[in-house]
Copies of this chain bind each other. A is one copy, B any other.
Amino acid sequence: MTPLQTQTTADRMTADLETASLNETAPARRGRRRRGGGGKSGPDLFPQKPFRQPRHIFKPIEAISADELESIHDASMRVLEEIGMDFLHEEARAMLKAAGAQVKPGEDRVRMDRAMVEELVAKAPSEFVLRARNRNHDLRIGGDAIVFSCVASTPNVVDRDGGRRPGNREDFQKLLKLGQFFNIIHAPLGYPVEPVDIHASIRHLDCIADAIRLTDKVLHLYSLGKERNHDGIELARIANGLTPEELVETPCTLTVINTSSPLRLDTPMLQGIIEMARAGQVSVVTPFTLAGAMAPVTVAGALTLQNAEALAGIAFAQLVRPGAPVVYGGFTSNVDMKSGAPAFGTPEYMQAALVSGQLARRYNLPFRSSGVCAANTVDYQAALETTLSEWGAINGGGNLIKHAAGWLEGGLSAGFEKFIADIDLLQKIAEYLTPLDVSEASLAVDAIRDVGPAGHFFGTEHTQARYKDAFYPPIVSDWRNYETWAEAGSPTAYDKANMLYKKALEAYEQPALDPAVDEEISEFVDRRKAEGGVPTDF
């Protein structure tokens, strides 16, 4: 075992919160951390299972027939052939033209025929491993594997105590810590909130360095100009201790490529695809096809557009580097037709998630979906919409489920209480996806015989041997009876989550980092800052 493998809070079954809340500093505690047996003396506020990716043990739901799926495929191919897509990048257009696309001089429009698209898309791997600096946190992307990542890219952050405020580095770091602390967050993947108090020219340097130091999970970077891609890839290379040659063969960072729907890939996004593919890193190509706004008002029409745009981006990535790891992103939802605001967790969203999964599987690509809502606070609506979006994502066979903890307001804010409440949802989903034990002992015929009619099972040996780990213990659900609960002040899940997120932050421990790597990160960040960071005039 390397030092990286021994020094993580996250694999403990139970966080010892009594100990954690003593007035000791985190580094001081680190030396006497207990593994496995920890937490016996304190209240089990966060009984966690070890880090593990849930698997799709159930077949995804096929929402439409194979013929109907082909009709969406065919329609999206007609879009790419007849209408085309604007690629706002000269080199990209030249590459596409050289590969057989129809491109007129002086125009952005690129038309690709279906043979070209399908041939390129077929070069993408159906499954790959994303390396984390703690190799226990490596992620399998695709197949039957599931990754949950937390809220990302919101401009605001909110909790009860501080109210709603613009994103800032302190909250950014706290949310990263939560993403590290909870094993069910397989990687944070993005800035959980945008820290606007760091200047845009150097923000990516500080943020990625923070992510490397505060977490030991897979790294993410934004495609906002190729210099940021270069910096992020280099930081990921250093964090993972890879040579440049090894890096190209080792996916260890991921970017999301959003098309500018309808039918446009802008310059930074195309730079992102180019830089990531050249470096052997991952592009998650996700059109934001909001039915009724940037996409047709019909779900099938929005999916046609989504499919055309996603495949165009993925085909281009394969042109840059055949075999470049990519993910098919589905983010189709509908708008509130009264206000034009995006809606999430709607029935249309669920249907779109199912069909997006069918499309991704048709092309043998990993499928990205999301756990999202339009709620402004942590109420019934928040849970309803978030759970329904997860229902779509899981039934749809989602491999990478983004924004799955902490997302509020259609992505306009990250909520601390929402983060904790969603952790309960995600942990429940993981248990739901754990194969049921149907062994002879589990069938319990002998226990039923021993108890007989009108008896009770609690005192039986069968129960006593199993009850401690028999059931998932919720962290936010309050199962006290009404009277006890009312005496305690009738706390809602929001109230409980407000208490719990602070306890989780207290219990968080910074993962170890090789001092040599730490120093190399600092040197790189300092040098790039001294050079002025990156241009911010794009």
A343 at the interface (CB under 8 A from B): yes
Please name all residues of chain B whose beta carbon is closer than 8 Å to the beta carbon of A95 when the two chains form the complex.
none
Q: Which of A49-79 contact B (CB under 8 A)?
A: 58-59, 61-64, 68, 71-72, 75, 78-79
Among listed A26-34, A113-121, A421-429, A499-507, interface-contacting one: A421-429
Contacts of A295 in B (CB 8 A): 457
The chain B residue with its CB closest to the CB of A374 is B479
- The interface centre, meaning the residue of A108, A388, A442, A476 with most chain B CB atoms within 10 A of its CB, is A442
**Which of chain B's residues have a CB closer than 8 A to the CB of A380?**
378-380, 382-383, 421, 476, 492-494, 497
Given the complex, which residues of B lie within 8 Å of A382, measured CB to CB?
380, 383
Q: Smallest distance from the beta carbon of A18 to chain B beta carbons, Å?
A: 18
Please indicate the chain B residues that have their CB under 8 angstroms from the CB of A58 in the complex. 61-63, 395
- Provide the A445-477 mask, 1 if CB < 8 A to any CB of B, else 0: 101110111111110101100111011101011
Q: Which of A142-150, A346-354, A364-372 contacts B (4 or more CB under 8 A)?
A: A346-354
Task: Report whether B458 and A292 are in contact in the complex, using a CB–CB cutoff of 8 Å.
Answer: yes
Query: Is A200 engaged at the interface, CB distance under 8 Å to the other chain?
Result: no
Output the nearest chain B residue to A412 by Cβ-Cβ distance. Answer: B482
Q: A residues 285-327 with Cβ under 8 Å of B?
A: 291-301, 304-305, 308
Query: Chain A 418-445 against B: per-residue CB contact (8 Å), 1 yes, 0 no?
Result: 0001001100110110101111111111
Which residue of B71, B466, B471, B482 is within 8 Å of A346 (Cβ)?
A: B471
Q: Is the CB of A384 within 8 A of B438?
A: no
Task: Check if A521 is an interface residue, CB within 8 A of chain B.
Answer: no
Give which listed residue, B384, B412, B443, B445, contacts A425 with CB less than 8 A: B384
Shortest CB distance A424–B (Å): 7
Q: Which residues of B contact A425 (CB under 8 A)?
A: 384
Closest to A77 in B: B445
- Does A339 make an interface contact (CB < 8 A)? yes
Q: Is A137 an interface residue (CB 8 A)?
A: no
State A467–B338 Cα separation when bound (angstroms): 10
The reply to whether the CB of A413 lies closer than 8 angstroms to some CB of chain B is yes
List, in ascending order, chain B residues with CB within 8 A of A109's CB: 453
Q: Which residues between 127 and 183 of chain A lie within 8 Å of chain B, taking CB atoms?
A: 156, 164
8 Å CB contact of A260 from B297, B347, B454, B472: B454
* Segment of A81-89, A97-105, A186-194, A237-245 engaged in the interface with chain B: A81-89
Task: Give A224 Cβ to nearest chain B Cβ, in Å.
Answer: 19
Provide the residues of chain B in CB contact with A72, threshold 8 Å: 438, 443
A452 to B338, CA, bound (A): 24
Question: Which residue of B108, B300, B335, B432 contacts A436 across the interface (Cβ within 8 Å)?
Answer: B300
CA A292 to CA B466, docked complex, whole Å: 9
Residue of B whose beta carbon sits closest to that of A444: B301
Please indicate the chain B residues that have their CB under 8 angstroms from the CB of A108 in the complex: 453
Of B79, B428, B443, the contact of A347 (CB 8 Å cutoff): B428
List residues of chain B with CB within 8 A of the CB of A455: 262
User: Which residue, of A295, A347, A472, has the highest number of chain B Cβ atoms within 10 A?
Assistant: A347
- A471 contacts B351, C-beta separation under 8 Å: no
Are B300 and A262 neighbours in the complex by a CB distance under 8 Å? no
Assess A263 versus B453: contact at CB under 8 Å? Given A377-B490, A448-B301.
yes
| A340 interface hit (Cβ, 8 Å) | yes
Asked whether B381 lies within 8 Å of A384 as measured between CB atoms, the reply is: no
Q: Is A216 an interface residue (CB 8 A)?
A: no
Give the distance in Å from the alpha carbon of A338 to the alpha carbon of B479 in the complex.
9
**A-B contact list, 24 entries, CB within 8 Å:** A58-B61, A63-B436, A262-B448, A264-B453, A292-B457, A294-B457, A297-B463, A297-B470, A298-B442, A298-B462, A299-B437, A300-B438, A300-B444, A301-B462, A304-B443, A337-B470, A339-B480, A348-B471, A379-B492, A379-B493, A380-B383, A380-B494, A383-B387, A384-B387
Q: Which 8 A-B pairs have the closest CB atoms?
A: A301-B444, A347-B431, A383-B383, A296-B444, A380-B493, A379-B492, A263-B453, A75-B443
